[in-house]
Structure 1
Amino acid sequence: GLTSIGADNTNVNMGNNHSVYTLFNNEIENLFKGNCYCHILHNGVKWGHQQLTVDIEKFLVMTYAHFSHSAKRIEELKSYHEFYEQDFHVLLKHIKIRWLSLYSSIERLLLVYKPVKSYFSDQLNKEIPKELENHFQSEETLCVLSFLHHVLFEIQKTNLELQKECITAIDSYRIITSLQYKLKQRLNTGFFGIHCRQMLDRIPSDTSIELQASFVRFISTFLEYADKYFSQNVAILEAIGHFGNGIENLTWSRIQKCIELTKIEGLNEDNLFNEFTELKLTFEIIKKKQVPLFDQIQFFLSNEQEKDTNTSLPMTIRQNEMDEEEQEDQTNVIRSYQLWAMLFAVNATPTPNMKKLICFLYSIPASNAYVECVFSDMKHIY
């Protein structure tokens, strides 16, 4: 049956009065509210941006628009790249409703900042808007850009992780609390990136103090917005998060806590305890084999793929391989849901109660990124 509603966080979807969630919840008791944390992070940045002294979004849009429909201006800009002996890179358009465009636009602008700044500082060019000229001559604008580039890197990385096919609500607690910790460390230490700090030391002290205060407000506002949604489900997310570590460190008390919070119907706790104990024993046996656990899981997945080539498993394997390639240390990553699947398959006796519990928990989404991708694909098709 239906376990959760995964959607963005508008009132029509997740509000308390006559929303999609409440209408379903009236029919299905204990329906989980699957807030989309990709939307939450994006909107948190939007609210935090209002605390800054410079409207960076407007600045990026104006800069891009200046070149977007003029081949002549682009050719003029290329001459400045040649002067600095720098490869030409087109500016990236920032679209306010796109999750990941702000960081990418800032990163690209900073990459080509010197030639672009020289272009907008040319006093002989009468086509340059005065507002853009002032921005590029201002150290304050560059300082805010550097701050956002530093902070948005962590938010961008978190957003991308939440969009992965293998991520579910089981991973949400780990992912969101990690981001919260990293941003709180920046608040506590006042560190907003080395380039930002160097510029803060150069500019007048009163401007520097004002900028640092705005940076603190940005991070605080972002954290407050994210926590408004995260705190609603933090107890459940923390409880189910233990299942994401596999079975080795999972305890019966944590399973009981999870059942208490999720209120899954139809579970026989006596049988569930026995099944959990059997699976723990099975895990200990396979862990003692000479073949590494990761290789055992990959062998199991390969066999499952051969059994039924019409299932979605091949796509899942390819996605996992792509995800693993993105890991900075390139280590072999054991996905918890793959481990659970193998344990259920190799265990000597059926474990229907544990399987029902695991299937319920892994069905809860961390975001609706997949649906958003479908929308984008359909837009291109039509």
Structure 2
Amino acid sequence: MKGETSAEISEEILITVRRHSLEDKVVAFSADNTNTNFGGLNRAGRVNVHTKVKDSLQREVIGLGCPAHIIHNTARTALDMVPFDVEYLLTKIFGYFHIFTVHVERLKTFCDFVGQEYYNILGHCNVRWLSMLPALERVLQMYAPLKSFFLSEEKSPVVLRKFFEDPFTELWLAFVHGNLGIFN
């Protein structure tokens, strides 16, 4: 839409609702949690899509928020039960290799040593939650050389050394991987 104002968006929604004779069937509005859609953090105000749709239909319409964000928050809360911060560790591993070609070259040597093909470590951004599964898959794919690398590096980050020293780490990662597949 040209301007994507709350007036334009709500009008387009209402045109579609009327075209399909759904005025009496709309019970909820689900959209991204932007000010335009819901009026900010407290969902206050009258100049937002949710309010305009409710006012036009002259009844209560439940504001659900973004289903993708709800699923993401559910997954993030579930991951709080794992004994380490998966997002942090994925970001830490990626950051260790991202701009340091010398680290990448040493990891490639470890891959050769354990007889595994080298793959680039993928990044994860916590506001792009769908990036977590591919980043985790890559760490699992590269687990043996990464473990060997961080346990033999003289100056590897302490958090990564402890992470790879734990004999249950790979099991936890596999558990998280299986569950992230459900959420994705």
How many residue pairs match? The answer is: 154
Corresponding position: 1:93 with 2:117: no
Where in structure 2 are the equivalents of 1:38-77 lying within 5 Å?
38-77=68-107
Where in structure 2 are the equivalents of 1:105-184 lying within 5 Å?
105-122=135-152, 125-156=153-184
Where in structure 2 are the equivalents of 1:26-37 lying within 5 Å?
26-29=55-58, 33=63, 35-37=65-67
- Aligned equivalent of 2:45: 18
Deviation at 1:154, TM superposition (A): 1.5
Q: 1:8–1:35: 8 Å Cα contact kept in structure 2?
A: yes
Residues 82, 36 of structure 1: CA spacing in aligned structure 2 closer, same or farther, 3 A cutoff? Answer: same
- Aligned equivalent of 1:285: none
TM-score by length of structure 2 reads 0.73
Where in structure 2 are the equivalents of 1:305-344 lying within 5 Å?
none
Deviation at 1:139, TM superposition (A): 2.2
Q: 1:81–1:115: 8 Å Cα contact kept in structure 2?
A: yes
Q: Secondary structure at the match of 2:45?
A: coil
CA RMSD of aligned residues (A): 2.4
Q: State how far apart, in whole Å, the 1-side matches of 2:137 and 2:112 are.
A: 20
TM-score by length of structure 1 reads 0.37
Deviation at 1:143, TM superposition (A): 2.5
Q: Secondary structure at the match of 1:115?
A: helix
Q: 1:54–1:144: 8 Å Cα contact kept in structure 2?
A: no
Counterpart residue identity of residue 75, structure 1: E
Higher RCO, Cα 8 Å, sep 6+ = 1
Q: State how far apart, in whole Å, the 2-side matches of 1:22 and 1:2 are.
A: 17
Where in structure 2 are the equivalents of 1:237-316 lying within 5 Å?
none
2:132 to 87, 102, 109: 102
Q: 2:163–2:169: 8 Å Cα contact kept in structure 1?
A: yes
Structure 1: unaligned runs, 5 residues or longer? 157-382
Q: 2:30–2:67: 8 Å Cα contact kept in structure 1?
A: no
Bigger Rg, structure 1 or 2: 1
Q: 2:79–2:176: 8 Å Cα contact kept in structure 1?
A: no
CA offset digits 1:177-234 (Å, max 9, x no partner): xxxxxxxxxxxxxxxxxxxxxxxxxxxxxxxxxxxxxxxxxxxxxxxxxxxxxxxxxx
Q: 2:87–2:124: 8 Å Cα contact kept in structure 1?
A: yes
Deviation at 1:37, TM superposition (A): 1.9
Deviation at 1:86, TM superposition (A): 1.1
CA offset digits 1:237-281 (Å, max 9, x no partner): xxxxxxxxxxxxxxxxxxxxxxxxxxxxxxxxxxxxxxxxxxxxx
Higher helix proportion (structure 1 or 2):
1
Structure 2: unaligned runs, 5 residues or longer? 1-14, 18-25
Q: What is the identity percentage for the equivalent residue pairs of Structure 1 and Structure 2? A: 28
Q: State how far apart, in whole Å, the 2-side matches of 1:88 and 1:145 are.
A: 19
